Structure 1
Amino acid sequence: MEKEYNMTINRLPSKTWNWLRMNETQLERIEIPAAGEAKVTLPEKITTAENEGSKPWNADFVGIASGMGEDMDGLLAAAGVKAKHYEVPADVTEVQPLLLDYAYAQNSLQAGAVAVKAGKNSEITVIEDFASDRETSGQAAVSTRLYLEEGAKLRLIQVQRLGSDFTFMNDIGALCEEKASLEVIQLILGGKNTYLGCKTTLQGRESSVNTDTAYIVDGEGRLDMNYVALHEGKKTQSNMQAGGVLRDHAFKLYRGTIDFKWGAKGAVGNEKEDVLLLSNDVVNQTIPLILCAEEDVEGNHGATIGKLDDELLFYLESRGMNREQIYEMMAMAKVDAVCRKIPDASTQAKVQKFLGRAVEEEEA
Structure 2
Amino acid sequence: MMENMKINQLPSKTWNWLKMNETAVSGISVSGAHEGNLEIPEGIKKTVCPAGLPDRFKDVAGGMGSDMDMLVKESSAGAVLLSADSDVSGEPARIRFAYGAFEHSLNTFGILAKEGSNMTVIMDMAAERSVDPERTGSPSPVGENPAAVSQSEHTGLSAVQTKLILEKDAKVTLVQIIRNKNAKTVLNDIGAKVADGAKLSVIHLFLGGDRVYNGCKAELIGKKSNFTADIAYTVADDCVLDMNYVALHEGKKSVSEIRTDGVLHENARKLFRGTIDFKKGAAGAVGNEKEDVLLLDDDVVNQTIPLILCAEEDVEGNHGATIGKLDEDLVFYLESRGMALAEIYKMMAKARIDAVLRFVPDEKTKADVASYLESEGSNGCE
1:171 to 182, 186, 189: 189
1:44-75: CA deviations, max 9, x gaps? Answer: 1111212253xx54633011111001100111
Q: 1:82 aligns with which of 78, 82, 98?
A: 78
Return the match for 1:224 from 232, 239, 242.
Answer: 242
From 252, 261, 268, the equivalent of 1:250 is: 268
Shift of 1:33: 3.4
Superposed, which structure 2 residues align to 1:120-269 within 5 Å? 120-135=115-130, 137-269=155-287
- 1:85 is matched by which residue type in structure 2? L
Partner of 1:43: 41
Alpha-carbon shift at residue 342 of structure 1 (Å): 1.5
Within-5 A mapping of 1:325-340: 325-340=343-358
Per-residue CA deviation, residues 15-65 of structure 1 (Å, 9 max, x unaligned), is 000010100011112123322232111111111212253xx5463301111
User: How far is 1:318 from its partner?
Assistant: 3.6
How far apart, in 2, do the equivalents of 1:94 and 1:346 lie?
A: 14
Q: Aligned partners of 1:358 and 1:279: how far apart in 2?
A: 20
Q: Distance between the aligned counterparts of 2:325 and 2:89, measured in 1? A: 43
| Residue type at the aligned position of 2:108 | A
SS in 1 for 2:13: coil
Give the distance between the partners of 1:118 and 1:4, measured in 2 at CA: 32
| Equivalent in the alignment of 1:362 | none
Q: Distance in 1 between matches of 2:50 and 2:2?
A: 26
**Cα drift, residue 348 of structure 1:** 1.9
The question of 1:70 aligning with 2:66 is answered yes
Gaps of 5+ in 2: 132-154, 378-382
Q: Which amino acid is the alignment partner of residue 119 of structure 1?
A: K
CA contact (8 A) 1:45 1:94 kept: no
Percent of aligned pairs sharing the same letter: 50
Provide the rounded CA distance (Å) in 2 between the counterparts of 1:312 and 1:43.
47
Output the CA distance in 2 between the equivalents of 1:284 and 1:58. 39
CA-CA distance at 1:321 after TM superposition = 2.4
The one of the two structures with greater contact order (alpha-carbon pairs below 8 A, sep at least 6) is 2
The 3-state SS of whatever aligns with 2:368 is helix
Change in CA separation of 1:308 and 1:37 when aligned onto 2, cut-off 3 Å: same
CA deviation string 1:164-219 (max 9, x = no partner): 21111000001110010111001110110000000000000001111011111111
Q: Is the 8 A contact 1:221 1:250 kept in 2?
A: yes
Name the aligned partner's letter for residue 131 of structure 1: A
1:115 alignment counterpart:
110
Alignment-mate amino acid for residue 120 of structure 1: E
Q: 2:97 aligns with which of 102, 109, 112?
A: 102
Residue aligning to 2:147? none
**CA distance in structure 2 between the aligned counterparts of 1:33 and 1:27, rounded to whole angstroms:** 18
Q: 1:334 to 1:301 in 2, by over 3 A?
A: same
CA distance in 1, matches of 2:159, 2:179: 14
Q: Would the aligned equivalents of 1:57 and 1:77 in 2 still touch at CA under 8 Å? A: no
SS, match of residue 354 in structure 1: helix
- If the length of structure 2 is used for normalisation, what is the TM-score? 0.89
Question: 2-side partners of 1:209 and 1:22: how far apart?
Answer: 24
Let me know the Cα RMSD of the aligned residues: 1.7
Give 1:134 shift. 3.9
Residues 349 and 358, structure 1, Cα contact 8 Å, conserved in 2: no
The counterpart of 1:319, out of the listed 331, 337, 344, is: 337
- For the 8 Å contact 1:5–1:32, the answer to whether it is kept is no
Aligned mates of 1:58, 1:245 — CA distance in 2 = 39
TM-score (structure 1 length as normaliser): 0.93
How many residues are paired up? 354
- Supply the distance in 2 between the matched residues of 1:303 and 1:312 (Cα, whole angstroms): 22
Which stretches in structure 1 are left out of the alignment for 5+ residues?
A: 360-364
Q: Which residue of 2 aligns with 1:278?
A: 296
- My pick for the range that moved more, 290-299 or 136-145, is 136-145
State how far apart, in whole Å, the 2-side matches of 1:233 and 1:282 are. Answer: 39
Q: Kindly provide the amino acid, as one letter, of the partner of residue 352 in structure 1.
A: A
Residue 314 of structure 1: how far off its partner (Å): 2.9
- 1:81 is paired with a residue whose SS is coil
